[in-house]
Amino acid sequence: LNEILSVGLILMAALIAGHAAQLIRVPEVTGYLLVGLLIGPTALDLISHDNLEALGFLSEVALGLILFSIGSIFEASQFRRLGRGVVRITLFETSCSFVLVAIGVWAAGQPVAVALLLGVVAMETAPATTLMVLHEYDAEGPLTDRLLALLAMNNVFVLVSFGVVSAALTLVLGAEAAPFALGYRAAYGLAWTTVGSVALGILLGLFMDLWAGRARESGEAMILAIGVILVAVGAARWLGLSPLISTLALGALVANASHHGRVLLEATGKADPPLYAAFFVLAGAELQLGSLAGLGMAGGLYVVMRTVGKLGGARLGMSGQKLPPAVRRNLGLCLISSSSLAVGLTIQIRSSFPEFAAAVTGIVLAAVLIFEIAGPLLARQALLRAGEARTSPQPLEPLPDVKASA
Amino acid sequence: MLSPRDSGAEPVAGEPTPKLIRGTKAKLRLAAASLLTLALGGLASPPPGPQAPPSEKIAPMLEAAVERAEPSRFYRAVQTAGRSALDYSVAFDAPEPVGPLTQGDFEVPMPGEPKPEAFGVLLSEREVLTVVTALNGRTETTARLSDGSATGARVLAYEPATGLVLLQLVPPTKLAPAPVAGASVSAGALSVASARSHSTDIVVPAFVGAAGGRHYTVAVADGLLPPGMPIYDLQSEVFALVSEESSRAYPVREALERLRTLASAGNGMPRTIGLCLQTVTPELTELVGEGGVLISDVLEGSPAAEAGLRAGDLLIRVAGASTLTPEAASKAIASLQTGEAAPLTVLRSGKESDFQVRPVETLVSHACSTRAEPLDAMRAAELFSALRLPAASVSRDASVLSVDGAEMSARLLASLRRSPSKSRLVHVQSAGRRLFAVIGRKD
């Protein structure tokens, strides 16, 4: 199929899947992912590997938009209210997953380096999937607030930890080269992806704020917002920075420095439903059913330990904090999903540590398949139990207009 | 659409909430700081890793550099430096490989043809740095020093990754050793390759094409640098030694440190048993099993071959230690004692069996990629087209040695054609290296 047809097909499939999902009371995201799995290369092959590669940029753009909106969580007054508690929970859930997974994988006979790399990958919680579920059920309340902040913190944590672990491994494994040059390169890489990405986000955010004052209509605001987000993603890739951190920083800056933040967020909100639908269908198409066969002992332990680490870590992090019981009981369940960032990290591992790539990739792909399907279902359950989901999803606002004009 | 809510602190319409960053001044300052960060980050970026310029560019680069440096003065400097550096030269006859792991046919030199030579440099009264080519599998050799005397030399330490060897002269010489340059040399530096050969003295200007990282790229205007050729700066201080690949030279100072460390730790001589290993990728798991590394080749005449190990066996334990990656296996093998039998456990046709292997010390490097190309083997491309399969992970030029353990033949091909899409384990050889791969699976 050519790319345009495949995008069309993806959106149609998403449309059907979304409705079917509502019918059987599972989150829309799950529907999108499953339909993606169905039409993807593992099953019907309507969307081929080549299509996936060509459409990869759509996923990056969608992820940029998603992280921009997550970034606005860092609005100062909001963050002051939730911040310390959330940082604590993030610390606990990430480090518990890291430690348990690393030990489990190591105990299953994998080399220490593989165990450490998998530990870092296990720390990640999928921002997009989780956010999508929150949105679909129009969730609101203390659990939702914390979850949003957690997602943002989690991803920054994961990227920094990945930088630290890969720097350490490079140093230890590359013993034969000059340690100073290696150390400098490793430390530079870490500093550049974090500090540099934040600087890029801030710079673009200030420009966005400046121009937003001049935007007269919502169309203009939409062009501005999406344009700047695309520039942030693209420039970050060009400069070797992290698109993820740049767009997070962009969102955070706009929330903290601009009075037009809300307008800009709403503007992007109008543009993104088809992008998100395509994002998840594509994510589903990239899942590999066959990978489950290669899960093995280490993979099984990875899945179990990560689940235990996430649930237990969140519990530990919340202990001693004054929290409603609904939050305490359900927050961990919302952290299970794992997706694009995990896969992105394995791609980086493939280029930095080719000797461990086979072991890491096999396990991560299988685990992502499991977590990506289970995550949204668990999150939905958690939201319902916490009473933060208004179960009847609101129809999309522009829909009546479309009908009227048709 | 996905805008998060500021629950609780909803701003009153028309009355914006105070923001963390207020006022033009603060924003300008923030913008300046970000720009500065990006600029500093760009400036502080580490130099790219060692990347050699393409070889066809080196000769023109050398000429340009010589022209810049005033040709006559430069050549005078090169001659002066090179001549005095001749005193540190060490030369070796480089015979054809001998020893337990050799492969291929012997090459009979034509009468009158200059004997193949390798070089080295004298670094102390008893130490010579050279490359493994100078030894070709032996652990002892004869070194010819610059005064024409010949002396015995035995291996102190060998570094397989670079092919560098530190030799000990027995007895030590009275000749003065070469001074080693203290600082590393930068790209574009003019230098001189200097050594005393059988018949002539070699003194040629050499050009450092790329520096930094773990090795230099050096070249001379025409021809190739022989292995082990020392490269001097214009003060006659040696800074690099040409490796087996003639365009690559390793920094002498660092190499000497590493090899001395190896020698003093008693790890100077790598032990081998003649196995080539391959990671079991998820595709291979189904066909070869899991929990080990795949033996992709067993070198003829090696201890492993004598013990009865075969390509296609899955190596699961070496002396009781489990081997899940080629690295772990190599490490376990390297820690075996020379000449002492050690048990290797492999999975063959689903059954575990033990083999007793006695490691030998060897200097044959890259032995896994030195297979002579089979003459009448089927190419992978032919197999793919015969079976109407898309080209798989195997290089199209690879020679197919066997499919599912059976040697390639017309009858086998006919039976393969009957079920072309079934997944099969093929043993192929590409660029002198033997590997296993899976073909035929349709996703």
**What are the tens digits of pLDDT across the range B229-253?**
899 988 888 989 988 776 788 888 8
Task: Please tell me the distance from the alpha carbon of residue B364 to that of residue B102, in angstroms, as a whole number.
Answer: 8
The verdict on whether omega for the bond into residue A127 sits within 30 degrees of 0, i.e. cis, is: no
The C-alpha angle with vertex B161 and arms to B374 and B171, in degrees rounded to 5, equals: 110
Q: Which of B176, B171, B179, B101 is nearest to B135 (CA)?
A: B101
As a whole-number percent, the residues of chain A with pLDDT over 90 amount to: 23
**Inter-chain residue contact A358 with B282, CB threshold 8 Å:** yes
The nearest CA of chain A is from the CA of B271 a distance in Å of 19
Task: Please tell me the distance from the alpha carbon of residue A70 to that of residue A250, in angstroms, as a whole number.
Answer: 10
Task: Please tell me the distance from the alpha carbon of residue B295 to that of residue B278, in angstroms, as a whole number.
Answer: 6
**Inter-chain residue contact A76 with B20, CB threshold 8 Å:** yes
**What are the tens digits of pLDDT across the range A343-386?**
778 777 766 776 676 678 778 888 888 898 899 999 988 988 88
Higher pLDDT, B161 or B309: B309
Average pLDDT (B372-386) is 76
Helix/strand/coil for B193:
strand
pLDDT band at residue B156, thresholds of 50, 70 and 90?
confident
pTM above 0.90, yes or no: no
Tell me the helix, strand and coil percentages in chain B, rounded to 5: 25, 30, 45
Q: How many CB atoms lie within 10 A of CB B68?
A: 11
Residue of B nearest to A259 (CA): B16
**Inter-chain residue contact A199 with B45, CB threshold 8 Å:** no
Average pLDDT (B417-438) is 81
Residue of B nearest to A110 (CA): B324
**Inter-chain residue contact A177 with B213, CB threshold 8 Å:** yes
Average pLDDT (A267-279) is 82
Q: Which residue has the tokens 């066969």?
A: A293
The nearest CA of chain A is from the CA of B50 a distance in Å of 11
Model confidence at A11: pLDDT above 60: yes
Task: Please tell me the distance from the alpha carbon of residue B304 to that of residue B276, in angstroms, as a whole number.
Answer: 10
Average pLDDT (B401-414) is 82
The nearest CA of chain A is from the CA of B135 a distance in Å of 23
Task: Please tell me the distance from the alpha carbon of residue B384 to that of residue B402, in angstroms, as a whole number.
Answer: 14
So what's the pLDDT on residue B366?
45
The nearest CA of chain B is from the CA of A183 a distance in Å of 10
Model confidence at A57: pLDDT above 70: yes
Chain A contact set for B27 (CB, 8 A): 206, 209-210, 257
Model confidence at B59: pLDDT above 50: yes
How high is the ipTM of this complex? 0.76
Average pLDDT (A384-390) is 83
CA-CA distances (angstroms) from residue B273 to A362, B195, B276, B292, B345? 30, 36, 9, 17, 14
Model confidence at A39: pLDDT above 60: yes
Average pLDDT (A293-317) is 89
**Inter-chain residue contact A145 with B7, CB threshold 8 Å:** yes
CA-CA distances (angstroms) from residue B27 to A254, B35, B254? 11, 12, 50
The beta strand positions in B53-211, using DSSP E, are 89-93, 117-122, 127-131, 140-145, 150-159, 164-170, 190-196, 201-210
Helix/strand/coil for B14:
coil
The nearest CA of chain B is from the CA of A251 a distance in Å of 11
**Inter-chain residue contact B327 with A111, CB threshold 8 Å:** yes
Task: Please tell me the distance from the alpha carbon of residue B193 to that of residue B210, in angstroms, as a whole number.
Answer: 16
Question: Number of A:B CB contacts under 8 A?
Answer: 138
Which strand (E) or helix (H) includes residue B316?
strand B314-318
CA-CA distances (angstroms) from residue A315 to A133, A134, A151, A325, A376? 22, 21, 16, 11, 20
- Pick from A110, A192, A256: which is nearest to B20 by CB? A256
- Pick from A196, A257, A266: which is nearest to B27 by CB? A257
DSSP string covering A124-161, please? Answer: ---HHHHHHHHHHTT--SHHHHHHHHHHHHHHHHHHHH
Cα diameter, chain B: 99
Model confidence at A394: pLDDT above 80: no
